[in-house]
Amino acid sequence: GQSLEQPSEVTAVEGAIVQINCTYQTSGFYGLSWYQQHDGGAPTFLSYNALDGLEETGRFSSFLSRSDSYGYLLLQELQMKDSASYFCAVPFSGGYNKLIFGAGTRLAVHP
Protein backbone atom coordinates (compact mmCIF):
# COMPACT_ATOMS: atom_id res chain seq x y z
CA GLY A 1 0.00 0.00 0.00
CA GLN A 2 0.89 3.63 0.14
CA SER A 3 1.26 5.79 3.22
CA LEU A 4 2.73 9.12 4.22
CA GLU A 5 3.78 10.26 7.66
CA GLN A 6 4.19 13.82 8.83
CA PRO A 7 4.12 15.47 12.25
CA SER A 8 0.69 16.47 13.44
CA GLU A 9 1.64 19.89 14.81
CA VAL A 10 4.49 22.37 14.67
CA THR A 11 4.77 25.66 16.51
CA ALA A 12 7.13 28.52 15.66
CA VAL A 13 7.53 32.26 16.08
CA GLU A 14 7.39 34.97 13.47
CA GLY A 15 10.57 35.35 11.51
CA ALA A 16 11.80 31.87 12.33
CA ILE A 17 12.45 28.91 10.03
CA VAL A 18 10.46 25.71 10.29
CA GLN A 19 10.87 22.35 8.59
CA ILE A 20 7.96 19.96 8.06
CA ASN A 21 9.06 16.43 7.32
CA CYS A 22 7.28 13.78 5.29
CA THR A 23 8.23 10.14 4.91
CA TYR A 24 6.43 7.99 2.42
CA GLN A 25 5.93 4.38 1.44
CA THR A 26 4.83 3.72 -2.08
CA SER A 27 5.20 0.90 -4.55
CA GLY A 28 5.99 3.29 -7.36
CA PHE A 29 7.25 6.82 -6.90
CA TYR A 30 6.31 9.68 -9.21
CA GLY A 31 7.08 12.70 -7.06
CA LEU A 32 6.21 14.44 -3.82
CA SER A 33 4.03 17.51 -3.68
CA TRP A 34 3.06 19.93 -0.94
CA TYR A 35 -0.16 21.82 -0.30
CA GLN A 36 -1.20 24.53 2.10
CA GLN A 37 -4.69 24.77 3.53
CA HIS A 38 -6.01 27.49 5.79
CA ASP A 39 -8.90 26.57 8.07
CA GLY A 40 -12.10 26.33 6.05
CA GLY A 41 -10.30 27.00 2.80
CA ALA A 42 -9.16 25.21 -0.31
CA PRO A 43 -5.81 23.44 -0.48
CA THR A 44 -3.35 25.34 -2.62
CA PHE A 45 -0.37 23.86 -4.39
CA LEU A 46 3.02 24.88 -3.04
CA SER A 47 5.67 22.72 -4.66
CA TYR A 48 6.55 19.49 -6.38
CA ASN A 49 9.75 17.41 -6.35
CA ALA A 50 10.30 14.60 -8.78
CA LEU A 51 14.07 14.48 -8.42
CA ASP A 52 16.41 14.59 -5.44
CA GLY A 53 17.40 17.97 -4.16
CA LEU A 54 16.05 21.29 -3.10
CA GLU A 55 13.48 23.36 -4.95
CA GLU A 56 13.16 26.95 -3.87
CA THR A 57 10.16 29.19 -4.40
CA GLY A 58 10.43 32.41 -2.48
CA ARG A 59 10.21 31.82 1.25
CA PHE A 60 9.23 28.19 0.74
CA SER A 61 11.57 25.40 -0.29
CA SER A 62 10.99 21.69 -0.68
CA PHE A 63 13.50 18.90 -0.53
CA LEU A 64 13.40 15.31 -1.67
CA SER A 65 15.58 12.27 -1.08
CA ARG A 66 14.21 9.35 -3.03
CA SER A 67 16.73 6.91 -1.54
CA ASP A 68 15.44 7.76 1.94
CA SER A 69 11.77 8.05 0.88
CA TYR A 70 11.80 11.38 2.61
CA GLY A 71 11.08 14.97 1.90
CA TYR A 72 10.52 18.20 3.74
CA LEU A 73 8.98 21.59 3.32
CA LEU A 74 11.06 24.48 4.61
CA LEU A 75 9.36 27.74 5.47
CA GLN A 76 11.57 30.74 6.10
CA GLU A 77 10.88 34.18 7.54
CA LEU A 78 7.66 32.91 9.00
CA GLN A 79 4.66 35.19 8.99
CA MET A 80 1.42 34.94 10.90
CA LYS A 81 -0.39 34.20 7.66
CA ASP A 82 1.64 31.01 7.31
CA SER A 83 -0.41 29.49 10.12
CA ALA A 84 -2.20 26.71 8.26
CA SER A 85 -2.16 22.99 7.63
CA TYR A 86 0.45 21.60 5.29
CA PHE A 87 -0.04 18.32 3.45
CA CYS A 88 2.44 16.23 1.55
CA ALA A 89 1.05 14.04 -1.21
CA VAL A 90 2.15 11.42 -3.70
CA PRO A 91 0.43 10.17 -6.83
CA PHE A 92 -1.40 6.90 -6.42
CA SER A 93 0.69 4.20 -7.99
CA GLY A 94 -2.37 2.51 -9.39
CA GLY A 95 -2.91 5.29 -11.88
CA TYR A 96 -5.87 7.54 -12.57
CA ASN A 97 -3.73 10.52 -11.55
CA LYS A 98 -5.06 10.35 -8.02
CA LEU A 99 -3.21 11.85 -5.10
CA ILE A 100 -2.74 10.29 -1.69
CA PHE A 101 -2.41 12.88 1.05
CA GLY A 102 -0.60 12.72 4.35
CA ALA A 103 -2.50 13.46 7.53
CA GLY A 104 -1.32 17.05 7.52
CA THR A 105 0.81 19.19 9.80
CA ARG A 106 -0.82 22.12 11.57
CA LEU A 107 1.60 25.00 11.79
CA ALA A 108 0.94 27.66 14.39
CA VAL A 109 3.00 30.84 14.07
CA HIS A 110 3.12 33.03 17.15
CA PRO A 111 4.26 36.65 17.52
Partner 1 sequence: GAVVSQHPSWVICKSGTSVKIECRSLDFQATTMFWYRQFPKQSLMLMATSNEGSKATYEQGVEKDKFLINHASLTLSTLTVTSAHPEDSSFYICSAKSGLAASYEQYFGPGTRLTVT
Which residues here bind partner 1, judged by CB under 8 A?
30-31, 33, 40-45, 48, 85, 87, 89, 91-92, 96-104, 106
What is the distance between the terminal CA atoms of the chain, rounded to a whole angstrom?
41
Reference 37, options 101, 110, 93; nearest CA is 101
Nearer to partner 1, 15 or 41 (CB): 41
With H, G, I as helix, E, B as strand and everything else as coil, classify residue 80: helix
* CB of residue 51 to partner 1, shortest distance in Å: 14
Of 11 and 48, which CB lies nearer to partner 1 in the complex structure? 48
CA distance 110 to 13: 5
CB of 81 to partner 1, least distance (A): 17
